[in-house]
Amino acid sequence: MKTGIVGLPFSGKTTLFNALTGAGLDAAAMAGGKRDAQHAIVKVPDVRLDRLNEIYQPKKKTPATIEYIDLAGLSADEQKKGGFSDQFLGQLRTVDAVLVIAAAFHNDNVPHPLNRIDVNRDFNLVQEEFILSDLAIIENRLQRLEKEMRVRKTDAHVKEQALLERFKGALEGVQPLRMLDINAEEEHLIRGYQFITLKPHILVPNIDEKEIGRSEAIRAENGDWEKIPQTVVLPISAQIEMEIQQLSEEEGDVFRQDAGITQPAMHRLLRSSYELLGLLSFFTVGEDEVRAWTIRKHTLAPQAAGEIHSDIERGFIRAEVVHYDDFIARGNMAKCRAEAVLRLEGKEYPVKDGDIINFRFAV
């Protein structure tokens, strides 16, 4: 799963990236319009995986991962032109979720590029640029469709045209596409477009340390954004989180307690990302490896097996499944089998969050 971090210059975008990943990027260089996106893979913390590791003592423990991408800030030249560059937008189209950070802190040494702190304005500015970008793609495609339909008109052309016209109307009304109801057939039609306003959004007001205790109030103040489907507001103090990240685990826990931070920013963002993207984790266990795998909700057992290896999906026979809670309550697979909580599931079984699975297959 990839999450792109975007925002205006000096919003704290790269500071948050450093806090999440432990990177030591130069925030000033990225804010100034540097074009190279920075990537980092973060291990997803999961107490269930840790407990399974304690029980099995495997040679290897492999957690699920998430990739964060710190994209260059909007440069001064782009601000004058009033938009994001095609390169920036092209990079953003490859992500699964978009994290938009806006400055909500006051620091005389970090001036706001628009001279005044206004989180809602900054979120709107970025969202409007995404809307214009998606609208340009739709308008170009509609022009090509018209030419194609003059030569040969198919049902697929007609359906795509009608869907894009509906999308165009929403965007012209300044509505992100994730506000629309889209069925499975329509989703298949537009899968290749990678519309930015269709991606889940996490909106992060980057708050002062003294505002940490008001996080829920700040979230409520920006509550209108959460009326948009697949959108969540999550206030974070990026500077404090980055400072904590540089401490030992014990020191970090003490610092968070003193600052009134209940969970690390990474944990809160990961939970929000999983919920927005409809993700879950299942586990495979054994003497060689204990591993967490990330899939979408409602994924059937054969497709979950395919995350491990395509041969397992192709030769899928059955899945031996026990839920993590049932396993921990009994302590081992023998008791799970004896008490019939370890069961065989077929091709139509939708994998659940926390399932421990052994796939039977033949190729």
Q: What is the pLDDT of residues 88-130, one digit of tens each?
A: 888 889 999 999 999 999 888 888 888 889 999 999 999 999 9
Average pLDDT over residues 243-270: 83
Q: How confident is residue 80, by pLDDT bands cut at 50, 70 and 90?
A: very low
Please classify residue 302 by burial: count the beta carbons closer than 10 Å to its beta carbon, then call 0-12 exposed, 13-18 middle and 19+ buried. Answer: buried
In one-letter notation, the amino acid at residue 28 is A
Mean pLDDT for all residues in the chain: 89
Q: How confident is residue 78, by pLDDT bands cut at 50, 70 and 90?
A: low
Distance CA 326, CA 347 (A): 22
Distance CA 307, CA 302 (A): 9
pLDDT of residue 82: 53
Contact 5, 71 (CB under 8 A): yes
Q: Is the pLDDT of residue 266 over 80?
A: no
Give me the DSSP letters along 43-74.
EPP-HHHHHHHHHH--SEEE--EEEEEEPPPP
Distance CA 307, CA 293 (A): 8
Average pLDDT over residues 282-299: 96
Q: Is the pLDDT of residue 331 over 70?
A: yes
Consecutive H or E run containing 323: strand 316-323
Q: How confident is residue 340, by pLDDT bands cut at 50, 70 and 90?
A: very high
Closest CA to 209 of 170, 241, 187, 177: 241
pLDDT of residue 48: 97
pLDDT of residue 81: 54
Which DSSP letter does residue 1 get? -
Q: How confident is residue 288, by pLDDT bands cut at 50, 70 and 90?
A: very high
Q: Is the pLDDT of residue 53 over 70?
A: yes
Q: How confident is residue 206, by pLDDT bands cut at 50, 70 and 90?
A: very high
pLDDT of residue 363: 84
Between 341 and 258, the more confident residue is 341
Average pLDDT over residues 152-181: 94
In one-letter notation, the amino acid at residue 208 is D
Q: Each residue of 296-306: pLDDT tens digit?
A: 999 999 999 99
Query: Distances in Å between the alpha carbon of 202 and those of 9, 180, 232, 235, 269?
Result: 18, 18, 5, 10, 8
CB atoms within 10 A of CB 315: 15
- Tokens for 216? 């829920």
Average pLDDT over residues 232-245: 90
pLDDT of residue 137: 94
Q: How confident is residue 35, by pLDDT bands cut at 50, 70 and 90?
A: low
Q: Minimum mean pLDDT among 22-26, 253-257, 324-328: which range?
A: 22-26
Q: How confident is residue 76, by pLDDT bands cut at 50, 70 and 90?
A: very low
As beta bridge partners, residue 4 has 69, 98
Contacts of 68 (CB under 8 A, 6+ apart): 2, 3, 5, 17, 20, 21, 39, 40, 42
Contacts of 91 (CB under 8 A, 6+ apart): 4, 37, 69, 71
Q: How confident is residue 256, by pLDDT bands cut at 50, 70 and 90?
A: confident
pLDDT of residue 150: 92
What domains can be seen in the chain, in order of their start residue?
A: 2-276 (3.40.50.300), 298-361 (3.10.20.30)
In the sheet that holds 38-43, the strands lie side by side as 38-43, 65-70, 2-6, 97-104, 201-207, 231-233
Q: How confident is residue 267, by pLDDT bands cut at 50, 70 and 90?
A: confident
Q: Minimum mean pLDDT among 58-72, 94-108, 246-260: which range?
A: 246-260
pLDDT of residue 224: 92
Please classify residue 15 by burial: count the beta carbons closer than 10 Å to its beta carbon, then call 0-12 exposed, 13-18 middle and 19+ buried. Answer: buried
